[in-house]
């Protein structure tokens, strides 16, 4: 097994050797010390990633563009409702035709299209609102 962080692997090895030499009575203190080092590494990694993402976002905003989106980043949010409504359209259509005829089918499909249209336009208006307030600053930024 290859260690992702060789320095952390050395720390673990040193902790295990110290446990072997000192015995089980010092085990809780050794484990706590090692976990503190792991936590420090995690904090440093998270801080580095957050700073990088903020820098990318600020650079993108400075260039006049919106935040770049990766393929599939919001796939479920964007297309989930559409997929669900299309899956439900078949049984809903059948039920509406049986109970109300062709008029029921038109009402059903009007509702399906209406729900999806409202969802699509709501997403666009939220995107414009986020762009308008992007320059206002945030408590989370450094």
Please state, in angstroms and rounded to a whole number, the distance separating the CA atoms of residues 37 and 8: 8
With a cut of 60, say whether residue 86 has pLDDT above it: yes
Please state, in angstroms and rounded to a whole number, the distance separating the CA atoms of residues 21 and 1: 25
Is residue 13 packed enough to be buried (19+ CB in 10 Å), middle (13-18) or exposed (0-12)? exposed
Structure tokens at 130: 């986020």
Please state, in angstroms and rounded to a whole number, the distance separating the CA atoms of residues 68 and 122: 20
If one compares 37 and 3, the residue with the highest pLDDT of the two is 37
Looking at every residue in the chain, the average pLDDT score rounds to 77
- Of the given ranges (41-45, 76-80, 99-103), which has the lowest mean pLDDT? 76-80
Residues in contact with 58: Cβ distance below 8 Å, sequence separation at least 6, in sequence order = none
Percentage of residues of the chain with pLDDT beyond 70: 74
Q: What is the DSSP letter of 4?
A: S
With a cut of 70, say whether residue 134 has pLDDT above it: no
Domain boundaries of the chain, sorted by first residue: 7-68, 72-134
What confidence score (pLDDT) does residue 123 get? 63
The number of CA neighbours under 13 Å toward the Cβ of 116 is 18
Greatest mean pLDDT among 41-45, 49-53, 86-90, 122-126? 49-53
Q: What is the DSSP letter of 26?
A: G
Q: Model confidence over 8-65: pLDDT tens digits?
A: 889 888 988 998 888 888 888 888 888 888 888 888 888 898 999 899 888 888 887 6
Q: How many residues does the chain have?
A: 142
What confidence score (pLDDT) does residue 45 get? 85
What confidence score (pLDDT) does residue 74 get? 61
């Amino acid at each position: 097994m290859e260690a992702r962080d060789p320095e952390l692997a050395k720390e673990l090895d040193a902790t295990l050797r110290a446990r072997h030499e000192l015995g089980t009575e010092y085990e809780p203190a050794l484990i706590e010390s090692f976990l503190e080092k792991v936590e420090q590494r995690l904090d440093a990694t998270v801080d580095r990633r957050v700073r990088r993402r903020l820098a990318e976002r600020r650079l993108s905003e400075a260039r006049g563009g919106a935040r770049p989106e990766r393929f599939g980043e919001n796939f479920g949010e964007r297309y989930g409702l559409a997929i669900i409504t299309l899956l439900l359209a078949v049984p809903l259509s059948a039920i509406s035709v049986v109970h109300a005829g062709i008029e029921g089918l038109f009402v059903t499909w009007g509702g399906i299209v209406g729900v999806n249209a409202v969802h699509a336009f709501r997403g666009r208006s939220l995107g414009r609102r986020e762009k308008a307030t992007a320059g206002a600053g945030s408590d989370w930024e450094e």
